[in-house]
């Protein structure tokens, strides 16, 4: 049976799509506004860092906690929090009292919900379709996510240029509301097994699982490399677009959407073609392509080559993202999957070190040069860790 034939899968997929559109819209708008108000590449990077910080701080905890609650209820709570935060930003923007520090607080709160996505929503994906169809389910989820990476930045840039901050955040409120309505229709109920140990003991076991399970350490290492040297440079797209390519807010939105277009194409190709024997090559190759193409993007001085580089960045992103959760879900024992996905979120959250590194380098060298240097560092890190990821 095709995964799209499962009603709850379609609902979970829709929730992910709507939340992703809102998230990418918020990140683009916040990046543009912070740059316009401060002219600081460091502060632009810090906004994304604050969105990632909860993953590093709470990722493992949320993986353990997700086994102790109904995931449907947790998902609805996450959506409600994000909707309230977006409504508060809209109100502050419409009254002319929105400050940079408030955008930072909103980014942090949004990051908590993002940190819970792997052990809550993506765990539900696997539960409703089964492990044997997890790769296809996640590939479709990546298709939806990356469709949002086209729509979110493009719509965000257009609304920001035409109507201002308030309407952009009001659109996010509407998206979170629709996602909440879809989540309320979910029939899936988690199986809550009794947990004899405490939360701290379960968290220790989660990290021990990574070290004990063959291949899983390699998955986490590649995740760390992507989030230390790959993902951070995406925060420089608004800066390079405005500073080096001389684009306005709507042009930056369209440029950022090229990444999403490439990811959409890449993920769509993976759905029918992905095979277990190719998982490692897709995962590592996608990471290398992502880092390498960002180097070329930062070196571009014209819009067309920059857009083409971002298109290929998106292809690499799709390959990495589709395999990441799939490899963790299929490698971990069934009773440990949620906790393993929590460790995955924690590894993603350590990318905040990469954002800090990028922010400092961007202040020192400028955004384009810093982006090129960090992309090259990512490729070098992949080569140096080959002995571990070959075991995946």
* Section 110-138 average pLDDT: 84
> What was the pLDDT predicted at 80?
95
Q: What are the two backbone dihedrals, phi and then psi, of residue 71, each rounded to the nearest 5 degrees?
A: -65, -30
pLDDT tens digits along 236-295: 888 888 888 888 777 887 787 788 788 878 877 876 766 777 888 889 999 999 999 999
Higher pLDDT, 329 or 99: 99
- Within a domain: 121: yes
Question: Phi and psi at residue 138, in whole multiples of 5°?
Answer: -65, -35
- pLDDT for res 194: 54
The Cα 164–Cα 94 span in angstroms is: 9
d(CA 140, CA 143): 5
Task: For residues 355 and 32, give the distance between their C-alpha atoms in angstroms, rounded to a whole number.
Answer: 17
Whole-angstrom distance, CA of residue 182 vs CA of residue 184? 5
How far from 271 is each of 183, 274, 341, CA to CA, in Å? 24, 6, 22
Higher pLDDT, 52 or 237: 237
Residue 307: inside a domain, yes or no? Answer: yes
Instruction: Please choose, from the candidates 357, 211, 381, the residue with its C-alpha nearest in 3D space to the C-alpha of residue 292.
Output: 381
- The 10 Å Cβ neighbour count of residue 187 is 9
Written as six digits, the tokens of 361 are: 């380098």
Domain that holds residue 109: 3-186+198-389
What are residue 2's phi and psi, to 5 degrees? Answer: -65, 145
Structure letter (DSSP) for residue 332: S
The residue count of the chain comes to: 392
pLDDT greater than 90 at residue 176: yes
Tally: H helices and E strands in the chain: 17, 0
Closest CA to 238 of 27, 86, 21: 27
pLDDT band at 19; cut points 50, 70, 90: very high
Residue with tokens 């095709």: 2
User: How many domains are there within the chain?
Assistant: 1
CATH assignment at residue 173: 1.20.1250.20
Asked whether 367 and 239 are in contact (CB, 8 A), the reply is: yes
Range with top average pLDDT, 273-277, 311-315, 327-331: 311-315
**Does the pLDDT of residue 183 top 60, yes or no?**
yes
Please count the CA atoms within 13 angstroms of the CA of 30 that sit on its side-chain side.
Answer: 32
First to last CA, the chain: 28
Classify 131 as helix, strand or coil: helix
Residue carrying the six token digits 């990722």: 59
């Amino acid at each position: 049976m095709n995964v799209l034939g499962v009603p709850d899968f379609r609902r979970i997929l829709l929730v992910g799509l709507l939340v992703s559109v809102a998230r990418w819209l918020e990140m683009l708008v916040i990046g543009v506004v912070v740059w316009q108000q401060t002219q600081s590449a460091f502060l632009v990077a810090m906004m994304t860092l604050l969105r990632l910080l909860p993953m590093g701080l709470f990722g493992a905890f949320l993986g353990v906690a997700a086994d102790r609650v109904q995931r449907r209820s947790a998902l609805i709570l996450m959506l409600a929090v994000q909707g309230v935060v977006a409504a508060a930003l809209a109100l502050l923007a419409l009254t002319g009292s929105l400050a940079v520090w408030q955008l930072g607080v909103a980014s942090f709160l949004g990051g908590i919900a993002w940190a819970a996505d792997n052990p809550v929503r993506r765990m539900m994906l696997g539960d409703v379709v089964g492990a044997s169809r997890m790769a296809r389910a996640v590939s479709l989820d990546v298709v939806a996510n990356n469709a949002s990476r086209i729509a979110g930045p493009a719509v965000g840039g257009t609304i920001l240029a035409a109507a201002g901050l308030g309407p952009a955040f009001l659109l996010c409120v509407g998206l979170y509301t629709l996602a909440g309505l879809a989540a309320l229709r979910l029939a899936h109920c988690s199986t809550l097994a009794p947990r004899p140990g405490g939360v701290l003991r379960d968290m220790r076991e989660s990290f021990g699982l990574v070290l004990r399970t063959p291949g899983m350490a390699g998955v986490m290492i590649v995740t760390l490399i992507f989030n230390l040297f790959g993902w951070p440079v995406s925060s420089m797209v608004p800066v390079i677009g405005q500073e080096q390519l001389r684009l306005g807010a709507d042009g930056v939105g369209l440029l950022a959407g090229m990444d999403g277009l490439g990811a959409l194409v890449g993920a769509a190709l993976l759905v029918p073609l992905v095979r277990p024997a190719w998982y490692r090559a897709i995962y590592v190759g996608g990471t290398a392509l992502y880092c390498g193409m960002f180097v070329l993007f930062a070196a571009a001085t014209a819009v067309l080559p920059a857009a083409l580089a971002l298109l290929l960045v998106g292809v690499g992103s799709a390959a990495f993202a589709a395999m990441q959760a799939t490899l963790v879900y299929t490698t971990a024992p069934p009773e440990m999957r949620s906790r393993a996905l929590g460790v995955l979120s924690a590894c993603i959250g350590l990318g905040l070190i990469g954002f800090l590194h990028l922010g400092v380098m961007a202040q020192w060298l400028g955004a384009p040069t810093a982006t090129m240097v960090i992309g090259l560092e990512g490729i070098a890190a992949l080569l140096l860790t080959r002995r571990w990821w070959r075991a995946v």
